[in-house]
Structure 1
Amino acid sequence: MGTDSVFVLLYVDDIVITSSNDELISFFKDMLHQQFHIKDLGPKKYFLGIEVARSSLGLSLCQRKYVLEILEDSGLSGARPSNMPMEQNLKLTDTGGSLLSDPSSHRRLVGQLIYLTVTRPDIAYTVNILSQFMHQPRQPHLDVAHRLLRYLKATVGLGLYYSTTSSLELRAYCDSDWARCLMTRLSTIGYCIFIGNCSISWKTKKQHTISRSSAKAEYRAMAVTTCEITWLSYLFQDIGLSIPKPVLLFCNNQAVLHIATNPIFYGCTKHIKIDCHLVREKIHKGLIHPSKILTVSQVADLFTKSLGHDQYHFLISKLDVRNLNAPT
């Protein structure tokens, strides 16, 4: 078949096969038929709860049916919709409010929401917060979960869109809050990586160690994002895609940018010296190029804090997350 390749995505007994050569796909399926009893479902429309819509303009991924099942399972199908997943600047603790009489249903709900973040980066931060109180969920945690469900009802058709005309240029955004957790004073990192205008990787996660300054917290976020960019570059190389380098890595903290490009270690950076070496190595090799961005345009803010209505929806539009069921 020349230089053509076939790619197989396998999860238990569900398989997705793709290639730039239709003959190669047919050949591979015939090989499988000879060894196993398989059922060919044709072009992909539904896979592991993810609905797939394809056209000449692009590919859309959403979990509309899954969202409706969550709403029905929780008894909130008739609830009043909300335009925000979480109240701005809300801070939850593990001691405030009464304990839930039946924590198992809440844990089940949060588990369902975690899987929903596969195609819904807009709820990643809220779900991350809820998942931190699974051991002893309380009424305020359930209230946040119910508000998130009301937001999902208002945005049931929201999903990812990948345009066929998108470029192959990677760009990344990284951010961190500072000691926002009231119980541990740990910071939360967040990043989002795009290929062209399409978001392909995102994360919100609490840091493992306490940062004594906002610069250190954000530098750790830059280091984590750099590791993800490195992995993606290897992945694209393996599948035969050439990604333009360096990858622009946007950060809104001027001190972090100074540390990343300054070859001299100061005393204030000794606690993040390994991260400094990692980031500077990738800069030296030409993989990344840290760049300044205004806070108002920092997409990674979505993954580190609960924002106000206007800023939240402005940044959501930058993710190219679309309502696939909206009238055209």
Structure 2
Amino acid sequence: MTTIRVLLCLAAMQQWHLHQLDINTAFLHGDLKEIVYMKAPLGLIVPDPTMVCKLQKSIYGLKQASRQWHEKLTTTLLKLGYVKSFSDHSLFTKCIKDNFTAILVYVDDLIVTGNNLQEIIETKSILHNTFSIKDLGNLKFFLGMEVARSNQGIVLYQRKYTLDLLEQTGLLGSKPASTPMEYNSNLHSKSGTPLNDITSYRRLLGKLLYLTHTRPDISFDVSSLSQFLDSPTNLHYKAAIRVLRYLKNTPGQGIFFPSNNTTTIQGYSDSDWAKCIDTRRSITGWCFFLGSALVSWKSKKQNTVSRSSSEAEYRALAMAACEAQWLLFLFRDLGIAHPKPVSIFCDNNSALHIAANPIFHERTKHIDVDCHVVRERVLNNTIHLLPVHTSLQLADIFTKSLSPSPFLKNLTLSIFIFLF
């Protein structure tokens, strides 16, 4: 999903063409490398009931069907001169002089973008002759996400998905909430009484998780509620309903990729120490911008318990540094230069001092690996660490529930929300 957002951001800046394709009966095109037999399907009359069918091609239901289809598509694109990205194996690029074309694959759905319309038309023609495709024209609806384009830029949002979710839960006429979660909410595994129907809670959280691809403002709340999937309670379900009431307030909110933008990457890293009441693990939050457009973010509970806020911040910084490195790899595969180090803003001075201090002592040796991860990227000019005031920390929204005023201020400062 990060690659999709990066491509849309670049397409808005470079005025690239954006087209969408769908492969008809994709899995039936896969070639089998081993001998596979199957029972005769219902309705097929065979002289002997013990006879079986030998498959000549891949079919739906085989465990290797998706792999064989991807291999067949990859082989075809490589013959057309495309290069497979090492940072994202679903991305294929082709660059000849000043002509650039990129194809992003999700099973049988393809996004084709580039600055040469003739190359895109020729690629469509060859793919149609090889696989039989459905040309959906300009990109407007992809994987449940809607795309709107104008001279000002591109908007990625899930308005229809949100309204359908509200209708399914009967909350279309509910009272909107100003924030997705109550301020300083202290939910834990024993809050409330167990639900009789846990399936409905799990189904709801699954749909909300998919919505976070275009709604970073609910990432922390949905991530927090997801940790109670094994035994949810009535209070957990009530908190999930509040997220829906917040969505009712702005169902058409999404990510905006402006046309007037730059290719400079900068990020924000933050953590909330010992946030989880059950395990006392900290929450990691980071986000990365391409110019002024948000393209990547994360809200996640850390794997281990941190003994200090500095350690928690440093673990979050290590994860952000790895994401910055991956974004640079993606830029390299897209043929985009990023000569300057990626700036990462952190509001914890202790973590910045640890990154600058090459001496490890008793207070830092237990986070030796994370120290090396960050310092190595600082020394080779991959990232550049900068301090930021807590009030300007844009990753704060990914680590804790905020009151309405700071929450709205955070959204305003980040400039990544667009109402549609």
The letter of the residue matching 1:9 is L
Query: How far has the Cα of 1:3 moved from its partner?
Result: 4.4
- Select the structure of larger CA radius of gyration: 2
Which of 138, 151, 159 does residue 246 from structure 2 map onto? 151
The letter of the residue matching 1:222 is L
Q: Determine if the alignment matches structure 1 residue 277 to structure 2 residue 366.
A: no
Contact 2:250 2:419 in 1 (8 A): no
The letter of the residue matching 1:11 is Y
Contact 2:155 2:418 in 1 (8 A): no
Contact 1:113 1:127 in 2 (8 A): yes
Which of 207, 218, 235 does residue 330 from structure 2 map onto? 235
Query: How far has the Cα of 1:87 moved from its partner?
Result: 0.6
Q: CA RMSD in A?
A: 1.0
Partner of 2:184: 89
TM-score by length of 2: 0.76
CA–CA distance in structure 2, aligned partners of residues 257 and 136 of structure 1: 39
Encode CA deviations 1:201-223: one digit per residue, 9 max, x unaligned: 00000111110000000000000
Partner of 1:128: 223
Q: Determine if the alignment matches structure 1 residue 304 to structure 2 residue 399.
A: yes
Partner of 1:112: 207
Q: Determine if the alignment matches structure 1 residue 221 to structure 2 residue 316.
A: yes
Partner of 1:259: 354
Q: Determine if the alignment matches structure 1 residue 161 to structure 2 residue 256.
A: yes
The letter of the residue matching 1:161 is F
Query: How far has the Cα of 1:308 moved from its partner?
Result: 1.2
CA–CA distance in structure 1, aligned partners of residues 399 and 297 of structure 2: 11
Partner of 1:49: 144
Larger relative contact order (Cα-Cα within 8 Å, sequence gap ≥ 6): 1
Q: Which moved more, 1:32-41 or 1:315-324?
A: 315-324
CA–CA distance in structure 2, aligned partners of residues 94 and 279 of structure 1: 34
CA–CA distance in structure 2, aligned partners of residues 256 and 323 of structure 1: 33
Encode CA deviations 1:170-207: one digit per residue, 9 max, x unaligned: 11100111111111010010000001111110000011
Q: Determine if the alignment matches structure 1 residue 138 to structure 2 residue 237.
A: no
Which of 123, 130, 142 does residue 28 from structure 1 map onto? 123
Which runs of 5 or more structure 1 residues have no equivalent in the other structure?
none
User: Partner of 1:267: helix, strand, or coil?
Assistant: coil
Q: Determine if the alignment matches structure 1 residue 315 to structure 2 residue 372.
A: no
Q: Which moved more, 1:151-160 or 1:9-18?
A: 9-18
The letter of the residue matching 1:277 is H
The letter of the residue matching 2:251 is V
CA–CA distance in structure 1, aligned partners of residues 411 and 144 of structure 2: 23
Change (3 A) 1:321 1:3: closer
Aligned-pair identity in percent equals: 47
TM-score by length of 1: 0.97
Query: How far has the Cα of 1:56 moved from its partner?
Result: 1.7
CA–CA distance in structure 2, aligned partners of residues 306 and 299 of structure 1: 13
